[in-house]
Chains A and B, each alone.
Chain A
């Protein structure tokens, strides 16, 4: 089993729709959780950290379920510019090590 698992997609979604991604992780001791966004052939960029109580940043909402060991990302009112690969990231057995999912590809269609 991979340490961080994501549905690779692609998710094809019409502009304006709401889309949700889930991610599961295997290390119950993980303390830090992130969503990164990566555009084609570019470096990953931090979208948002994920806090235990859940957090929202504009159209984006992230939630953490420690009991089930999964993280979710919800995007409301999707825009064409949201098209990218979304990577779920958790810290590994050592704090310095980030463990990355393979990413979920999102395509927003007009």
Chain B
């Protein structure tokens, strides 16, 4: 059983650019949630995808968008990058949308915006 894999592991982008982060969910998990974790803070919920549709969204602007594919893998896209977007981006998969059975996290993508 494979866990959650994220790519790339590290990324440096320039302010104003666009970035795409990728996540492969754990086998058997149909729900993917994305979180942003700034240094010294807890993760902040960005959005969740279930059956290829956005199932819920946190307090993030529209320039944060996502996709989920038929194999349940997911992408997080961020347009017009800002310096404050520098953070660890975590993808978590779960058996269902409630997370009652727990979440499995990937090791994250560390994004630095300069």
Contacts and interface: CB of A to CB of B under 8 A. Distances in A.
B100 A98 contact: no
A32 B102 CA distance: 10
B42 A100 contact: yes
B42 A96 contact: no
Interface residues of B, number: 26
Given A96-B55, A96-B56, A42 B107 contact: yes
Interface residues of A, number: 25
Contacts of A100: 35, 42-44
A44 B33 contact: no
Interface in B49-103: 55-56, 58, 88, 90, 97-100, 102-103
Contacts of B106: 43
Nearest to A103: B42
B26 to A, nearest CB: 13
Interface stretch (A13-21, A59-67, A71-79, A87-95): A87-95
B25 interface: no
Q: Looking at A4, A42, A94, which has the most chain B CB atoms within 10 Å of its CB?
A: A94
A101 B42 CA distance: 5
A91 B40 CA distance: 21
Given A43-B90, A95-B97, A102 B107 contact: no
Interface of B: 31, 33, 35, 40-45, 48, 55-56, 58, 88, 90, 97-100, 102-103, 105-108, 110
Given A87-B42, A98-B99, 15 more contacts: A4-B42, A32-B100, A43-B106, A43-B108, A44-B105, A45-B105, A87-B43, A91-B98, A92-B45, A95-B99, A96-B48, A98-B45, A98-B103, A101-B42, A102-B42
Interface of A: 4, 8, 32, 34, 41-46, 49, 87, 89, 91-92, 94-103
16 contacts: A41-B110, A43-B90, A43-B108, A49-B102, A87-B42, A91-B98, A91-B99, A95-B97, A95-B98, A96-B56, A98-B35, A100-B35, A101-B42, A102-B40, A102-B41, A103-B42
